[in-house]
Each structure stands twice: as C-alpha cells, then as structure tokens.
Amino acid sequence: MKASREWLEEYSDIDVKTTKLGDILTMAGQKVEEIIQKGTDIKNVVLGKILKIEKHPNADKLVVTEVDVGTEKLQIVTGANNIKLGDIVPIAKDGAELPGGVKIKTGKLRGIDSCGMMCSVGELGLDIADYPGQIEHGIMILDKSLENKLGENIVDILNLKEEIIDFEITPNRPDCLSIEGLGRETAVALGKKFKNPRENLDKLEVETKEELEGLKVDIEAPDLCYRYVARVVKNVKIQESPEWLKRRLKACGVRSINNIVDITNYVMLELGQPMHAFDINSIEGKHITVRRAKSEEKITTLDDVERTLDENDLVISDDKKAVAIAGVMGGQNSEIEETTKTVVFESAVFYGGAVRKTAKKVGLRTESSSRFEKGLSAENALRAANRAVELVVMLNAGEEVEGKIDNYPTKQKINKIKLEPEKINNLLGTKISKEQMIEILQNLGLEIENDIITVPYYRMDLEQMADIAEEVLRFYGYDKLEITLIKADTTIGIRNKEQKIEQKIRQILKISGLSEIYTYGFINEKELDKSNILEELKKEAICIQNPLSDDYKYMRPSTIPSMLNVLSFNLNQKNPEAKLFDISRSYKNIENKIEKGEVPEEEKILTIGIYSEDFDFYVLKGLVENILEEVSINRYDIQKEQTNKSYHPGRCANMKVGIDTIATFGEVHPEVLENYDIEKRIYLAEINITKLTKYSRANKKYEEIAKFPAVERDLAVIVAEEIEAGQIEKAIVKKAKKVLEEVKVFDIYRSEKLGVGKKSIAYALKFRDKNKTLNDEEIDEIMKNIIDELQKSFGAELRK
C-alpha cells in the first residue's frame, strides 16, 4: 500500500523527516518497504519552449533547435522527431543530472554545438503508464498552459518531490490498506493527535429507503454478502478529476479514468472500502440481486475478458444478467460511460474466503479482491458510500439523491475483551503500567470501561488478550523488550538414535572421500522410466496438483534418478570424478493412503553415487560394510540381486538382516547409463536409514583379550566359477565351530592351468580356544572336516 506523506499529514502532524517516519512506523508494525521520491535524481532540468527547428547540416536524422529556457536561449541538437515549434519540453541543461547517474554536458553533435538535451519520460526516470498521451521513444511534450513557467525546475512542474511511502501491510490489518488506517497508526506512533478528518461520516444520518430512483436491492446469499449499501447521484457530468485528486491517486499507484471512477478508487484508498459505480440505466429492471452465479454463467469483466463462473461465485446481478463479480471486478455491461447521467455507488461487504476463491479461480487479483479477502468491516461500508456522494457534490460532478438503500442481513460482531494488565506483562515479560496500556489502547480508538475493552469496528483482528498485548507492545516499543532466559526445569537435549546415526554416516563418508549433495524430491515422469524403476514403485509416485513445471510433477518414490542426474551433471561439467552421497527421503503412496487423507510413506535413504577410476564394486561394498560396522550391525547377509533393473544383474547385491533388506548396492545397469548418456561405470548404493536405525545395537561389550595363542592355517581350494566365496566361507564357519576365530579370503586366482571356469580361493583361518592352547591334532581334525565338507558340497579340490 502506497501513501503520500502529504495525504498522511491530513490525519496527523508529522514533525520528522520521511525516512525517520518510515523507521518509526516500521518499528510500530507497519513495515516500510521503500520511500519513493522520484525527483531526487533529477538536477538542473527545466521547462523550455521550442523556438526554432532547422535541419542539421551534417546529419539527416538530426535537427538543430533553439529553445527558450526563461533566462536564456539555448541551441540544442536532437534526433527526436515528435517535436514541433512552440512545444513545451523538459530541457536538461549543461551540468544536468538524470536518474541512473547520467550527466549532461555541452558538446558538439556532428560538428554543431549542443548546449543540453530534451528529455523523454523514460529519461526522467518516470513510468510511461503514468503519463497518458506521451510516447516512449520521443520527447515528453507538456501542456501549453505551462508556457509562463519557462525555466522552472521540472521536478516542481511535475510534482516529483512528493514523498511516497510504500508499506507492507500484513494480512491481519485490512484497515491499514487505507490512508485513514495508516494515518491513525502514524498519529499514535508519533504521539500526535489523530485529526480524524472524516469524523463527519460517523455522525451523518441518511434515511434508509426501499427504493432510490426506482432502484431496489435484494441479497439472496446473506452468508456471502453481509451488507449492501447503495447510494445514487444524478445529473452526473462525467469529466476529468481535479489535479489534487489525480495526484493523490497517482501517488498510490492508481490511474485516473474519470471523476466517478476516480471517486470510487479515492474512497477505497482513503477508507479501505472497495466501491463500485454502475450506470443505473444498465441495470435491467432497476433491480439488483446479490446471488450465487449459475453454473457456467458468463460475464465479460471491465478488462475485456470473458469469465466463466459457477455456484461458488457471487455476482451482482440485474433481472437478466450478472453485472459484476462481487468484490472482484465489474462487468463491461454496466460500465460508467461518458453519457452516464445517474450513477449507483455500491458499497458492499462480502465474505472474504469466497472472494479469495473466486479471484483465484478467474485469475483476477484486484485492489478490491485483495482487500475483501482479508475480511472487511460492514460498519465501514456505509461511511464509504456517504463519502462517495460527498465527493461528487464537492467536485460538482452531480447531485445527491436523498436517502440510501441499506441491506444489512449479517451484523458485524463487535468484540469485547477483558483488560488484564498482569497477564499482558507476564506474556511480554514487561512491567508496563495499566495507565500506559490504557493510553495506548485509547489512542488506537479502543474504548475501555470497567476494564472491558470495546474494539472499534475497524479492528476486527483484535479478539483476545494476546492481541491486546501486541497492540500495547507495538507502541510501548518492541525494542524496549529486555533480554531474559527461560526460568524453568532443566530439560535434556540429546540426539536420538537415528539422528546420531545420520551424523555418524556423514562423518564416515566424508572421511572416505565422499561429498554430500542436496537434491530436490521432485521428479518427472521420464526419469522414472529412464532409471528403470520397478513398475510397482512407479505407481506409488505421488503427483503434485499444481507443480511448478512438468519436471517437478512427482515426488520421487526412489532416490536413484536424483543421484543419476547429479552424476550426469558432473560428467557434463567434465569433472574427472564424483564421489557423492545424499541423505534424503523417498515418498510412496502405498495402500492409497493419500486418497484416504493420510500422509504417505516417507523413508530416509542414504544414496551413494560414484564414478571414479579408483573405484569398483568391492570398494563400494567396503564402504557399505564400514557404515554397518559403525552403527554396530554385525550380523548381516550379502546376497546377489538380479531382479532390480536399475542395477547390473551380475554386479548387484542386497544386504539383509534376517529377511529385511537394508541396503542394495552395485553397478548401474548399462541400459540405464545409456538412457542418461553416461559412458562411465557408475556405482550406486541405497541404504535405508530407518531400517539401519532399527537394527543398530548401541550397547557394545568388552570381550576379554585372549590369553592362549592362536593357531593359523591356510586353505586354498579350487572350485567352479559359480561357487561364491561367501558360500564357502559359511561352510567353513559351520564346520569349524567355536574355535574358529577368524576366516579371511587372502587370494583369488584364475589361470589356464586351473582350467576354464575354475578359480582358486585361498583362506586364512585363525583358531583359538579361550581356555587352553590348541594342539595340532585338534586343528588337523577340524581342517579335515572342513575339507571334506567343501569337497562334498562344492566339489572343491584342495590346492597344494
């Protein structure tokens, strides 16, 4: 909301500079975004009159002019082609400054002296939309009536000195979307008297009538329209508004149209109540009905666009058609025209929620709708209607028709709140006296009698003690709040198990050389296909109703595509290697939870993604194993995984605890790599942190360091290629029983000598008995059992 200082001064004396006023109001809750004063960047630009225009001897596109700038006559060369003899134009003289730091100096243009420059609207830093009739690529041509002001500063002529304050108004304060509301805040914040220039409106008595100039009003939807006030003016002369009114509108960023439309806008800015003006003759049957729209009902709004409505929208209608979308925009069919003689001013209050929905649906957020949607006071509506009529009379734009139509089915509730100074001080941590509280509240227009506060009609946001506390604090001063610390029982702050695990993972992966990434949870349809995600998983992807773009249409059911995108990006950046991890979530709509209104499944996943020369499956496996070790999961199974289509079927494994898969890792399927145009091998791991937490056993126990010596034996066997090292190891463990302390593969060997499809695996075995020294005979027997078993189960051949 923009407000000029000049307009605010009508409500309160202001004895501080505008920047200071801005600071004070910001600290009182009306945040100043910007103070605009267009003229500050313009120096030494004056009004001039063109006396001569002659051809430039050396250039076809330039002309040489003589300009009268009051005190002297200047020769100026210009390329403009919209100037005529006698035009009044802005002249930047030698030494002038223009917005954007442009400096003008006397110089030669193609050999001819030029002692200044004629300015366009844009060169003066002004908006072409604010100056109708001017052209963008041409000199600004001013009114001939200014001829007696040659040489005067353009800043004064165009009234650019005006200081305009742009406020950010919070949605709870629709009353401050008006100069009156801001004026009241200004007065209280500065400790001045609120001048209340519109006090007359509160006292004005206007008789309520059934009919005005034959016009009748019915409200069919009192749940959506709380009040409808209509006033009528006749013998209207549609013309331009006076300068002062146009200037005030412009300061607030509103364009002048004609006196009647300007009055509706002026009242909206002044009092915060949106208004609408109809030509009474465009109202069929002179009967206005406020009703719900019919399904598929159409109306062409003032901006020339046809809008389609339905039963959720409210319209202002005559006997045949809708003439306005209530609270949003008027219809073309009832627009004020130059021939309009009798005008109906509508000042109504609609249910904000419905206006908001309609405005959103038809895609029209107007000055009017953005006020209504915050909830307006029905009491204020009558003031606004009366003010409009007052202005018509004042501007000599027409005659007042006595009386008003006032349909007021839903009375505004006036809130009463108990004043509880002690509770307020406890909540704020302050020691503000009751007297000071009362003074602040009364200045804001609240009435207090016997500790009961009656809230004025324009402050519908005040409902309970906390609201009153905020009002007190705003004008007592947020900056006066002291600094204290909570006085309460001690609480313990500690990370829970999952949070600790996450922290450990970050550390261990960082030390292992991986960098953490952050990815969006969004995904597009194509990516689900590209990464070969399981069909059933695809079906669980959650669709966003209003995505930013098709690329962000789904919530990912798998983190793989996000990781592949990042790896692919790094490859495109020609980064020689990338070792990355991401701790993030996957989202799955299982059991149609979303359709049932329940939140879907979210799993926390650690995703590892790597391309690097010094990396292979087994390095990845080591990384995954280290993570499990770090979180104290010691019992797990590693099994080959061949059904997951995102991974290479021969180079992928699942890590299981019992039957629960807690991790899947391996090389990415060549087909997926091709889909992503990746030519390197990519290693991926997905580790479910939620499950990791479930199986993590935090309590470690000390085991006594062995007193008796260990016996070490090596065992090398030749087996068929399909036999997995893990299978053999399991068999060894099973046969060796308790005295086997450790078994490790230390060599895997393939050669022509061994034969095609064969490999030799060598294990180092370490035996130890906690209670005695093992002798050779015992070990020999165990070794024999193991060898027998390996021969029997795997056809293993002992390698000598």
Of 217 and 541, which CB lies nearer to another protein in the complex structure? 541
The residue whose two tokens read 């078993």 is 789
Q: How far is the CB of 612 from another protein (least distance, A)?
A: 11
Q: How far is the CB of 470 from another protein (least distance, A)?
A: 3
Residue 25 has a CB neighbour count (10 Å cut-off) of 21
Of 11 and 587, which CB lies nearer to another protein in the complex structure? 587
Taking CB under 8 A as the rule, does residue 430 contact another protein?
Answer: yes
Of these, 19, 308, 575, 632, which contacts another protein (CB under 8 A)?
Answer: 575
Taking CB under 8 A as the rule, does residue 512 contact another protein?
Answer: yes
Of 360 and 770, which CB lies nearer to another protein in the complex structure? 360
Q: Which two tokens stand for residue 28?
A: 């009182």
Part in contact with another protein (CB under 8 A); list of ranges 149-157, 390-398, 442-450, 595-603: 595-603
DSSP string covering 115-184: -EEE--TGGGT--GGGSTT--TTSPPPBPGGGGGGTTSBHHHHTTTT--EEEEE--TT-GGGSSHHHHHH
CA-nearest of 698, 683, 631, 612 to 653 is: 683
Q: Which two tokens stand for residue 387?
A: 């003010």
284: left (phi over 0), alpha (psi -120 to 50) or beta: beta
Of 516 and 674, which CB lies nearer to another protein in the complex structure? 516
Of 371 and 735, which CB lies nearer to another protein in the complex structure? 371
Of these, 207, 306, 488, 677, which contacts another protein (CB under 8 A)?
Answer: 488
Of these, 429, 650, 709, 795, which contacts another protein (CB under 8 A)?
Answer: 429
CA-nearest of 760, 270, 194 to 445 is: 194
Taking CB under 8 A as the rule, does residue 557 contact another protein?
Answer: no
Q: By rule CB under 8 A, what string of x and - marks binding of each residue 97-126 to another protein?
A: ------------------------------
Of these, 410, 519, 626, 793, which contacts another protein (CB under 8 A)?
Answer: 519
Of these, 128, 129, 414, 544, which contacts another protein (CB under 8 A)?
Answer: 544
Taking CB under 8 A as the rule, does residue 489 contact another protein?
Answer: yes
506 burial class (0-12, 13-18, 19+ CB within 10 angstroms)? middle
Of 79 and 353, which CB lies nearer to another protein in the complex structure? 353
Taking CB under 8 A as the rule, does residue 793 contact another protein?
Answer: no
Task: Give, as ranges, the residues between 7 and 26 that touch another protein (CB under 8 A).
Answer: 26
Of these, 509, 533, 685, 732, which contacts another protein (CB under 8 A)?
Answer: 509
Which residue type sits at 506? R
Q: How far is the CB of 569 from another protein (least distance, A)?
A: 7
Of these, 260, 277, 288, 514, which contacts another protein (CB under 8 A)?
Answer: 514
Q: How far is the CB of 396 from another protein (least distance, A)?
A: 39
E strand or H helix at 2, and its extent? Answer: strand 2-4
Taking CB under 8 A as the rule, does residue 441 contact another protein?
Answer: no
Q: Which two tokens stand for residue 593?
A: 């939870």
Q: Which two tokens stand for residue 137?
A: 């690529």
Q: How far is the CB of 359 from another protein (least distance, A)?
A: 9
Which residue type sits at 272? G
- Residue 710, CA distances (Å) to 132, 693, 704, 731 in order: 99, 35, 14, 21
Q: Which two tokens stand for residue 559?
A: 């983190």
Taking CB under 8 A as the rule, does residue 422 contact another protein?
Answer: no
Q: How far is 180 from 187, CA to CA, in rounded Å?
A: 11
Task: Give, as ranges, the residues between 372 and 401 that touch another protein (CB under 8 A).
Answer: 373-374
Q: How far is 350 from 368, CA to CA, in rounded Å?
A: 11
Gyration radius (Cα) of the chain, Å: 41
Of these, 545, 699, 751, 771, which contacts another protein (CB under 8 A)?
Answer: 545
Which residue type sits at 14? I
Taking CB under 8 A as the rule, does residue 677 contact another protein?
Answer: no
Kindly state the number of chain residues that form the binding site for another protein, as judged by CB under 8 A.
95
Q: How far is the CB of 191 from another protein (least distance, A)?
A: 17
Task: Give, as ranges, the residues between 207 and 246 that touch another protein (CB under 8 A).
Answer: none
Q: What is the 3-state secondary structure (H, E, C) of 512-566?
A: CCCEECCCCCEECHHHHHHCCCCHHHHHCCEECCCCCCHHHCEECCCCHHHHHHH
Of 538 and 645, which CB lies nearer to another protein in the complex structure? 538
Task: Give, as ranges, the residues between 248 and 287 that touch another protein (CB under 8 A).
Answer: none
Taking CB under 8 A as the rule, does residue 410 contact another protein?
Answer: no
Of 497 and 792, which CB lies nearer to another protein in the complex structure? 497
Taking CB under 8 A as the rule, does residue 35 contact another protein?
Answer: no
Task: Give, as ranges, the residues between 40 and 59 that touch another protein (CB under 8 A).
Answer: none
Altogether, the residues listed in the chain come to a count of: 800
792: left (phi over 0), alpha (psi -120 to 50) or beta: alpha
E strand or H helix at 114, and its extent? Answer: strand 112-114
Q: How far is 543 from 502, CA to CA, in rounded Å?
A: 29
Taking CB under 8 A as the rule, does residue 573 contact another protein?
Answer: yes
Q: Which two tokens stand for residue 289?
A: 């009905």
Q: By rule CB under 8 A, what string of x and - marks binding of each residue 315-354 to another protein?
A: ------------------------------------xxxx
Taking CB under 8 A as the rule, does residue 62 contact another protein?
Answer: no
Name the 3-class secondary structure at 238. coil
Name the 3-class secondary structure at 90. strand
Of these, 2, 227, 556, 579, which contacts another protein (CB under 8 A)?
Answer: 579
Of these, 427, 731, 764, 779, which contacts another protein (CB under 8 A)?
Answer: 427
Of 478 and 746, which CB lies nearer to another protein in the complex structure? 478
Of 547 and 649, which CB lies nearer to another protein in the complex structure? 547
Taking CB under 8 A as the rule, does residue 356 contact another protein?
Answer: yes
Q: Which residues 6+ apart lie within 8 Å of 779 measured at CB?
A: 711, 713, 767
Q: How far is the CB of 581 from another protein (least distance, A)?
A: 8
Of 86 and 353, which CB lies nearer to another protein in the complex structure? 353
Q: Which residues 6+ apart lie within 8 Å of 749 measured at CB?
A: 759, 760, 761, 762
Taking CB under 8 A as the rule, does residue 496 contact another protein?
Answer: yes
Taking CB under 8 A as the rule, does residue 556 contact another protein?
Answer: no
Q: Which residues 6+ apart lie within 8 Å of 456 measured at CB?
A: 445, 446, 447
Part in contact with another protein (CB under 8 A); list of ranges 281-289, 495-503, 751-759, 774-782: 495-503
Of these, 52, 394, 520, 798, which contacts another protein (CB under 8 A)?
Answer: 520
Q: How far is the CB of 474 from another protein (least distance, A)?
A: 5
Phi, psi of 249 (to 5 degrees): -60, -45
Rounded to 10 deg, the angle between the 179-190 and 434-443 helix axes is: 150
CA-nearest of 375, 30, 41, 347 to 188 is: 30
Of 58 and 426, which CB lies nearer to another protein in the complex structure? 426
Of 235 and 515, which CB lies nearer to another protein in the complex structure? 515
Task: Give, as ranges, the residues between 134 and 173 that touch another protein (CB under 8 A).
Answer: 170-173
Taking CB under 8 A as the rule, does residue 491 contact another protein?
Answer: yes
Task: Give, as ranges, the residues between 442 and 481 that touch another protein (CB under 8 A).
Answer: 464-467, 469-470, 473-474, 478-479, 481
Phi, psi of 9 (to 5 degrees): -65, -15
Taking CB under 8 A as the rule, does residue 517 contact another protein?
Answer: yes
Residue 287 bridge partners (DSSP): 216
Angle at Cα 375 formed by Cα 370 and Cα 381, nearest 5°?
95
Q: How far is the CB of 565 from another protein (least distance, A)?
A: 9
Of 360 and 411, which CB lies nearer to another protein in the complex structure? 360
Task: Give, as ranges, the residues between 725 and 784 that touch another protein (CB under 8 A).
Answer: none
Q: How far is 453 from 470, CA to CA, in rounded Å?
A: 14
